[in-house]
């Protein structure tokens, strides 16, 4: 990840994280936009749901903010010990964020389509993190980096979800929110993962070209 890309991702991550902290942790979570919209379709939410919501928000924010630092090559190369520490904290964030996300998905607005969308997001989020962890333990650094790119594309769903939400609200209004949200449940992460794969393929092609060039010049 180059500096401009890092600034973009970290800036959006901090912006959304700050918004979430204010909405859910500083102010009353019961009055937060997502909760109020959900209560339009569900009469009540039990106390355990709110506990899982807080866990999901706190640990997802940790992963969202730390992620760009783990992917920024210059930071990684100059601060290898901090990179490892951040990586461990990042994985903890995904573990708790993913498990709580699975629970919250069962209550997703929009019915079964939304529930499945967020269920698969949480499952793939934890699977890609587990793969990244396994690869680094095997000292397969390049494979580890590929899985981390995939994983952070899913972490970044916290940002893209809100972008899609604003766009759909402007285009279709609140009266179609349930239908819109069922599409957003997939749009917030599937395109991210596709873009991540394209980035990985491009990096592989560049690396292959460099290796060929080195062989021809040696």
Integer angstrom CA distances of residue 108 from 3, 8, 37, 84: 36, 29, 11, 34
**Shortest CA distance to 196 belongs to which of 80, 84, 71, 96?**
71
Give the pLDDT of residue 211.
58
Q: DSSP alpha helices (H): ranges in the chain?
A: 3-20, 33-39, 47-71, 73-78, 80-105, 112-137, 141-155, 157-172, 177-187, 190-217
Does residue 101 register a pLDDT over 90? yes
Share of the chain above pLDDT 90, in %: 54
Determine the Cα–Cα distance for residues 208 and 13; give it in Å rounded to an integer: 32
Question: Quick one: pLDDT band at residue 125, thresholds 50, 70, 90?
Answer: very high
Question: Quick one: pLDDT band at residue 109, thresholds 50, 70, 90?
Answer: confident
DSSP state of 27: S
Does residue 187 register a pLDDT over 70? yes
15-43 per-position pLDDT tens digit: 989 988 887 777 766 666 667 666 666 66
Does residue 141 register a pLDDT over 60? yes
Quick check: pTM over 0.85? yes
Does residue 213 register a pLDDT over 60? no
Give the pLDDT of residue 22.
82
């Amino acid at each position: 990840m180059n500096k401009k890309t890092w600034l973009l991702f970290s800036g959006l991550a901090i912006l959304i994280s700050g918004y979430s902290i204010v909405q859910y942790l500083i102010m009353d979570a019961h009055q937060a936009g997502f909760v109020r919209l959900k209560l339009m379709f569900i009469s009540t939410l039990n106390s355990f749901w709110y506990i899982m919501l807080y866990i999901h928000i706190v640990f997802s924010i940790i992963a969202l903010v730390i992620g760009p630092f783990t992917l920024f090559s210059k930071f990684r190369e100059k601060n290898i010990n901090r990179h490892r520490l951040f990586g461990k904290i990042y994985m903890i964030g995904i573990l708790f964020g993913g498990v709580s996300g699975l629970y919250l998905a069962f209550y997703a607005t929009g019915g079964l389509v939304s529930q499945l969308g967020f269920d698969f997001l949480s499952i793939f989020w934890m699977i890609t993190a587990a793969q990244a962890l396994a690869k680094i333990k095997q000292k397969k650094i390049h494979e580890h980096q590929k899985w981390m790119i995939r994983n952070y594309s899913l972490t970044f769903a916290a940002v893209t979800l809100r972008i899609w939400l604003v766009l759909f609200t402007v285009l279709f209004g609140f009266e179609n929110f349930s239908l819109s949200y069922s599409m957003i449940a997939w749009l917030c992460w599937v395109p991210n993962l596709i873009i991540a794969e394209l980035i990985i393929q491009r990096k592989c092609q560049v690396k292959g070209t460099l290796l060929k060039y080195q062989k021809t010049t040696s």
